[in-house]
Amino acid sequence: MRLLLIALFVLPLLARPAAAADWHPLDPATSLVIDTSKGEIIVALRPDMAPHGVERVILLAREHVYDGLLFHRVIDHFVDQTGNPNNKDGGTSSHPDLAPEFTATLKPSAFLPVTSSSDGITGFIGPLPIVGALPTASGVRVWGAYCPGVVGMGRQESVDSANSEIFFMRDAARRLDHDYTVIGRAVVGLDIVRAIAIGEPPPAPDRMIQVRLLGDIQENQRPRYEIMDEHAPAFAAEIQRVRAAKGADFSICDIEVPVRKAG
């Protein structure tokens, strides 16, 4: 039975018909535009993975809590931390702490499987890389993979202490998987994430100048980007290309869903 489940899970990647359009605009309701002192970062938020975390980040953006906050702890090849109103670890917003959202249960049809083995799967929900257990009748339990560009919610020692802090992955750190709430991935500006000034704290810290939901920006002033449908044949071909190049070293963190400027 397990072999049958694996086969049914993997075959759709190979058999999926060509999509009508390979590209679609970023979702205005779930795209966070972050203007920093180094440039623009756009995060594709994933409420299907962390509904309360995403709701909190959007609320704080609309309350302008994030505007002007420093990247107060930045470790090269690891993370950029920001989002604390006191500009250091331990600061919180006026809102209560959040319960952990380390995993989500989804239908197999809700995401794109990339690898499947006897101990689980990897794949994508939109641009977000995920890891999960094998599918069952009730669905698939998945969690975000902390690959470059992935955005998580910081917390203190207690797992239910996430509040306002967010962090951006400069590089992969899979030891964070299943232990910090994943809210999305930077689909524009990974180079900016990696250019943020380093230090604990940095001697001359960079800052988030303004943080807005894409849908809250006047339409004629919005940054315009399109993201490739993760089910597009072109993306399937890219996965196969990277898999062939990496061989046994292939990882879900080796792949990014392409984004391009629109128009």
**Residues 160-183: what's their mean pLDDT?**
97
- Provide the pLDDT for residue 2: 37
Give the pLDDT band of residue 4 (cuts 50, 70, 90): very low
Q: Which CATH architecture has domain 27-216?
A: Beta Barrel (2.40)
**Residues 74-92: what's their mean pLDDT?**
94
Q: What is the dihedral angle through the alpha carbons of 101, 103, 105, 110, rounded to the nearest 10 degrees?
A: 100
Domain ranges of the chain: 27-216
Residue 137: exposed, middle, or buried by beta-carbon count in 10 A (0-12, 13-18, 19+)?
A: exposed
Flag whether pLDDT at 70 surpasses 60: yes
* pLDDT tens digits for range 16-60: 443 447 999 999 999 999 999 999 999 999 999 999 999 999 999
Q: Kindly report whether the global pTM for this prediction surpasses the value 0.85.
A: yes
Flag whether pLDDT at 14 surpasses 50: no
- Provide the pLDDT for residue 6: 38
